[in-house]
Amino acid sequence: MAARKSFGLLVGMLCLWNSLSACGGGGNGGPPVTPSTPTRTPTRTLRPGEPTFTPTRTVPPPSPTPTPTPVEVVPGTRGIVDTVRVAPPGAIVAVPAGVYEPFGLTAADLNGPVRIVADVTGQLTGSAAGEVVVNANGGATAVTLDGVTGVTLEGFTLRSAARAAIEVRDSSDVTLLSLVVRENGRDGVRVLQSSGVRIWNNLLWRNAGAGVALLNSSGIAVVNNTFYGNRGSGVVIGSPDLPSSNVLARNNIFVANAPFGILVDPASTDFDGNFNLNRDGYGNTAAGPNDLNVDPFWLDPNNPDRLRIPGTDDECRGGSAIMDAGDPDTDPELVAILAQRTTQTDNKPDCTGVGCCPPGCFPGSEVECVRVGKVDLGYHYPIR
């Protein structure tokens, strides 16, 4: 992290402050957008003889896969659990498109760390692209992880649960990644008595309780999620009887949640929130120094597939304040994942890394502007 911060300071020295407003890094190679000015157009003209700069967009490589060949689920009532039980340590369990019944995993079902991936693009299984849905059908949960370690659940749509779409209990080193958690009877995600849980890049949409509830848990990272229309607040950290500690909230979007976007119980400790867009307010905590309270300019938030933003054009016009508004110290593993996904209506990947400046963007000296683009806020959709 220290090296990344030092690099960021060096880049800042290279770009004069009055030129940063013209330097790109937006989600589509456009400039950063301030909350009060959602669009801006660079106006600088190159001096005679000044070289042109054509950026070379680079992004971090995707995370390495644990095994070269995924273990494919054979659809069926117990297909996911049965496949996990025979999967070797470090395996990817790939689940084809379709609708699946609720399932639960305990330590006895695992042979070691496992990554359970909804194959929404069809690339892992060679099947048709489409949603991979776990429909609770009014049962208590869609997915339960009880007493497990080293489980990643990725890409599923979880809906229609009475208590929580996914409940993580007495577990550690769990990653909930790129899930769509929608229209559940109470909480979207509930974490109980667990530690080391990463809640990364999820869409929590119209749940009757909290989008995410963290109870008697610690060491939780809630990063790059979009919370929309949850009726028990966006993220709830602790309760009077079940306080939580050491919770990090970064790069999230909170819109139309009630009563708060972020609610921290007074008994909970060490909450660290920053670089979030929160239109719903704070309970028992203050806004982070880099938080925003602006309209993200979504296409249509009443449709869970259309919480997307307009991309910038070649002249750096358009876009949204969520572009490049993320924490520059976002976990590199997550940055690599988000760089392969999109927040935009034009389906272009989030531009993160060196080369996000548009052609002709210079800081007023002979030194080229090579600003490193930061991640866009909120949930990133798969590119299909």
> What is d(CA 68, CA 205) in angstroms, rounded to the nearest whole number?
34
Q: Quote the number of domains for the chain.
A: 1
Residue matched to tokens 């497990």: 148
| C-beta atoms surrounding 45 within 10 Å | 8
Tokens, residue 271: 């909450």
Element holding 174 (H helix, E strand):
strand 172-177
Burial (CB count <10 Å: 0-12, 13-18, 19+), residue 220 = buried
Burial (CB count <10 Å: 0-12, 13-18, 19+), residue 300 = exposed
Bridge partners (DSSP) of residue 175 are 152, 198
Q: What is the DSSP letter of 65?
A: P
> What is d(CA 295, CA 380) in angstroms, rounded to the nearest whole number?
17
pLDDT computed for residue 57 by the predictor: 34
Alpha helix ranges (H) inside 66-114:
79-86
Edge-to-edge strand ranges of the sheet holding 269-274: 71-72, 91-95, 114-118, 149-154, 172-177, 195-200, 218-223, 245-250, 269-274
Low-confidence ranges of the chain (pLDDT < 70): 1-68, 75-78, 313-318, 353-373
pLDDT computed for residue 19 by the predictor: 35
- Provide the residue type at 45 as one letter: T
- How would DSSP label each residue in 141-160? EEEEEES-EEEEEES-EEE-
Spatial CA neighbour of 358 closest among 116, 90, 46, 77: 46
Domain assignment present for 27: no
Domain assignment present for 7: no
Segment 178-226, tens digit of pLDDT: 999 999 999 999 999 999 999 999 999 999 999 999 999 999 999 999 9
Query: Are 232 and 207 a contacting pair, CB within 8 Å?
Result: yes
Domain assignment present for 81: yes
Residue percentage of the chain with pLDDT more than 90? 66
What's the distance, CA 230 to chain centroid?
17
pTM: 0.81
Give, in degrees to the nearest 5, the angle at Cα 335 between 18 and 306: 90
| C-beta atoms surrounding 88 within 10 Å | 11
Domain assignment present for 50: no
ω before 259 within 30° of 0 (cis)?
yes
Domain assignment present for 182: yes
Domain assignment present for 359: no
CATH number for the domain harbouring residue 171: 2.160.20.10
> What is d(CA 320, CA 189) in angstroms, rounded to the nearest whole number?
28
Q: What is the DSSP letter of 309?
A: B
Domain assignment present for 345: no
Residue percentage of the chain with pLDDT more than 70? 74
Alpha helix ranges (H) inside 90-160:
none
Burial (CB count <10 Å: 0-12, 13-18, 19+), residue 15 = buried
Domain assignment present for 262: yes
Domain that holds residue 83: 71-283
Q: Give SS3 for 100.
A: strand
pLDDT computed for residue 40 by the predictor: 31
Spatial CA neighbour of 8 closest among 375, 376, 377, 374: 374
